[in-house]
Structure 1
Amino acid sequence: MKLLEVRHLNLTLDSNEGPVKAVRDTSFSVEAGETLAVVGESGCGKTMTCLSIMNLFPGNVGRLSPETEILFQGKRINHLSEREMRRIRGNEIGMVFQEPMKALNPTEKIGDQITDILKAHTKMSKKEAAQEAEILLQKVGIHDRKKRMNQYPHELSGGMRQRVVIAMAIACRPKLLIADEPTTALDVTIQAQILELLKELQREYGMTILLVTHNLGVVASMADRIMVMYGGKIMEQGRVDEIFYHAKHPYTKALLRVRFEEGKRRQKLDVIPGIPPRLLNPPKGCPFLERCREAMNICSEQFPEAYGKGHTCSCHLYSPEFSEWKRRAGGEVQHDGIA
């Protein structure tokens, strides 16, 4: 069953330089109980996609196009009022933000921040909410609960702050948990602990997780499926094993080449030459065109449809027309000669 379905997501952000087309005609779904990982370089649209789902834009700078549909449990939510969305945020959909120090209020004690969420979404009394907050801190692996309840965010380590943010996100047992770079700025040991914690909570609560990351190691241990984004577009989608062992899109292959392989000594890391496109004026064709080793003339003219079933790839190399042309050419292809 599809818990979340996003159709034709187009997000435009206002900036001093003009409108930024942060996410462009993006469609995907998340099945109940699964973990979908969204990967890609910084600025590719991962976080903006999550904020679109939650309808969270600072200063109302973001605008969704009329054709955009975001369905949660079959109900369209992107046209709801702010009051209606507040009933869903934290209650039905929880979010772990990228930087816990920014997600937490530096002027409020940890305990107060968790109890405020419980009181806002449940009928708990202040005393009951405080007791539940202590239980939540225990669930996320924080000891000395009573002491931590009375501390401020700056008194906790980065790993502890991230655990507190997770406790706040799961306080109301949400059906969907959006985790935006949950291990950013944490050391390797703490990263592993946070990931294991998320997996334990998913098993216990039966949550669905939308995991945003640029770390392919995180993806391998956490996700069921992967969605690769670049330039505000989806490049490729598939199961973890399909993406890791049978990647199709040149961008996905490039990401896999540049990853660090743990345990391998003196490895020379590859790089992806060039820089991502500016989304003030995005290309009408494939956004990876200028950095692609296999670019063709048609890549600059139009963005390809998603070819394949289950494991899909938006690349002209997998179009029926190109496959037929390649077959006739006997497999010898000069990419820059295709019109």
Structure 2
Amino acid sequence: MIKAEQLTKRYGSALAVDQLSFEVLPGRVTGFLGPNGAGKSTTMRMILGLDTPAGGRALVNGRPYRSLRKPLRVVGSLLDAGAVHGGRSARSHLECLAVTNDLPRSRVGEVLERTGMQSAARKRIRGFSLGMKQRLGIAAALLGDPEILMFDEPVNGLDPEGIHWIRGLMRSLAAEGRTVFVSSHLMSEMALTADHLIVIGRGRLIADTGMADFIQASALNDVLIRSPQSSHLAELLTAKGAAVVPEPNGGLAVTGLTPEAISRLAAANGVAVYELAQRQASLEQVYMELTEDAVEYQAATPTTDNERHDR
């Protein structure tokens, strides 16, 4: 597994990572989320020994990455798909990695096939699209058949088929018992891929929890109810301790009571109900709510034409 213990990193006077601690466990996909500048890439670089912490430490399988004798057999990573020699072919790039890490060359063909890169194996990397470079980077990460996989924004540049493919790949790797740690800004993909979430902001831990628990705990979850007696029903719900907010379309947004409790209350008081539905916030909504105060670069809210005319 991956373990961060009080990781701290400074760049001059800027505190990029601030006493960050978490664990990434095997058998599940762990999403690593945070606004731009939150310290995600810096944290991943410290885990891989590319940056030296100012304090704390990062361990993979209980050891610092730099102490691993054959690192590609333990950790496979993709942090920057463009960090490759453009003059090499995809196959020669992977063969160089195999030779320098004492890996069998047979693995090159296996990972090319698994990532769908066989037809481009002899082509020079400088002619690759970003999506093709991402696939090549993933092939390199898989080369040592490692127990731990780390991906930083792996779907950048991929078309819908490629995004669907990598989603299935990450889940299949976790199902094999591997540790999968992936950073992404695409909330829709994280919602479909991740089992667990680690969320940071301004270098600090904000959340470390399962996907379902993360969404369920949001104050944005509510119950929508429609009734021809909405005013009376709102009074009944408020008396029971629920928070009731009228919606523009005539419905009521209710928090503090379950749909079952609302249904029983309405039935006991003879109130007709046309619609009763549990509404759950999306991962993007919950994430935006949670990280609102941790956004470093926040643009002004656009003004609509109607708002301009009202001034």
- TM normalised by structure 2 equals 0.68
Please report how far the alpha carbon of residue 256 of structure 1 lies from its aligned counterpart in structure 2 after TM superposition.
3.1
Can you list the C-alpha shifts for 1:240-270, whole angstroms capped at 9, x where unaligned? 0111222379xxx9973388xxxxxxxxx99
Please report how far the alpha carbon of residue 277 of structure 1 lies from its aligned counterpart in structure 2 after TM superposition.
4.3
The residue type equivalent to 1:69 in the other structure is R
Can you list the C-alpha shifts for 1:157-203, whole angstroms capped at 9, x where unaligned? 33322111111101001111001010123333432222223333444
- The one of 79, 90, 95 equivalent to 2:77 is 95
- The one of 140, 159, 170 equivalent to 1:168 is 140
Residue of structure 2 in register with 1:187 after alignment: 159
1:56 correspondence with 2:75: no
Q: Contact 1:7/1:70 (CA < 8 Å) preserved in 2?
A: yes
1:74 correspondence with 2:49: no
Residue of structure 2 in register with 1:29 after alignment: 23
Residue of structure 2 in register with 1:122 after alignment: 102
Residue of structure 2 in register with 1:65 after alignment: 54
Can you list the C-alpha shifts for 1:119-143, whole angstroms capped at 9, x where unaligned? 122254xxxx1x4312211111234
* Pairs within 5 Å for 1:155-234: 155-204=127-176, 206-234=177-205
Residue of structure 1 in register with 2:309 after alignment: none
Where in structure 2 are there 5+ consecutive unaligned residues?
221-280, 301-311
SS at the partner of 2:8?
strand
* Alpha-carbon separation, structure 2, partners of 1:110 and 1:221: 30
Instruction: Go from structure 1 to structure 2 and tell me whether the alpha carbon gap of 1:208 and 1:222 turns closer, same or farther (over 3 Å shift).
Output: same
Residue of structure 2 in register with 1:7 after alignment: 5
The residue type equivalent to 1:245 in the other structure is Q
Q: Contact 1:94/1:178 (CA < 8 Å) preserved in 2?
A: yes
Please report how far the alpha carbon of residue 94 of structure 1 lies from its aligned counterpart in structure 2 after TM superposition.
1.0
SS at the partner of 2:218?
coil
The residue type equivalent to 2:284 in the other structure is L
Aligned residues: 238
- Provide the alpha-carbon RMSD of the alignment: 3.1
Moved over 6 A (4+): 272-275
Please report how far the alpha carbon of residue 273 of structure 1 lies from its aligned counterpart in structure 2 after TM superposition.
7.6
The residue type equivalent to 1:217 in the other structure is S
- TM normalised by structure 1 equals 0.62
SS at the partner of 1:71?
strand
Please report how far the alpha carbon of residue 233 of structure 1 lies from its aligned counterpart in structure 2 after TM superposition.
0.8
The residue type equivalent to 2:99 in the other structure is K
Q: Contact 1:54/1:89 (CA < 8 Å) preserved in 2?
A: no
* Alpha-carbon separation, structure 2, partners of 1:7 and 1:46: 15
SS at the partner of 2:149?
strand
Fraction of identical pairs, as percent: 21
Please report how far the alpha carbon of residue 47 of structure 1 lies from its aligned counterpart in structure 2 after TM superposition.
0.9
